[in-house]
Structure 1
Amino acid sequence: MATYFMFGRYSLDSVKEISPERTNKATALIKKHGGEVESGYALLGEIDLVLIVDLPDTEQAMKTSVALAKLLGISFTTAPAVTVEDFDKIMEEV
């Protein structure tokens, strides 16, 4: 599994639909794509929320990002992430 940060921005319409039920639907959709939500945070500023998720691969990350946008009306920017420890190991080879 790989870790991805999913940065979300609400549309004016999607803000009206915020609810625990919708959060549960999003979590279920991520699981449907083979993923797990590690954590999620609501933010103030240009980005409204961030999800930290584990997904099997980039293909599933792309599918999940688009499927969430369709389901929720929230646009996501999804980025792969590695731990600093893994990053240091990777950079030793450069």
Structure 2
Amino acid sequence: MPKFLIHATYTADGTKGLLKEGASGRRAAVEQVVTALGGTVESVYFTFGENDVVLIIDLPDPVSMAAISLTVKASGALHTRATPLLTVEEIDEATRRQVPFRAPSA
């Protein structure tokens, strides 16, 4: 199952919701969304700095990630960025694949 690292930053309205519900309430909301699409939440961490929260989630496919991303962004409560995470074994497989590429200057 594909794994994704999510970086999220709350807007002012999103922060008001966090203050009202608490971190546990927001984690429950995340779990509801992810499990509804057949995924699991591996971890949720609140942070300081550029991002307010980071998550690692597993989803059945990239289309599920896109659906979540579009829905969350449309709410206006969060700005998010999803990064696909690849295992060492997946990168090993990628290094064995032949790619017919020629650089522009070659």
User: TM-score normalised by the shorter chain: which range applies?
Assistant: 0.7 to 0.9
The answer to whether 1:75 aligns with 2:56 is no
Q: Which moved more, 1:67-76 or 1:33-42?
A: 67-76
Give the structure 1 partner of residue 15 of structure 2.
Answer: 15
What letter is aligned with 1:89? Answer: E
Partner Cα separation in structure 2 for residue 87 and residue 47 of structure 1: 27
What letter is aligned with 1:55? Answer: L
RMSD: 1.8
1:61 pairs, out of 45, 65, 68, with 65
Give the structure 1 partner of residue 45 of structure 2.
Answer: 41
- Of all paired residues, the percent bearing the same amino acid is 29
**Unmatched 5+ stretches in structure 2:** 99-106
What letter is aligned with 2:47? Answer: L
Aligned length: 94
Partner Cα separation in structure 2 for residue 37 and residue 70 of structure 1: 21
The answer to whether 1:5 aligns with 2:14 is no
**Unmatched 5+ stretches in structure 1:** none
Partner Cα separation in structure 2 for residue 29 and residue 35 of structure 1: 9
The structure with more radius of gyration: 2
Give the structure 2 partner of residue 93 of structure 1.
Answer: 97
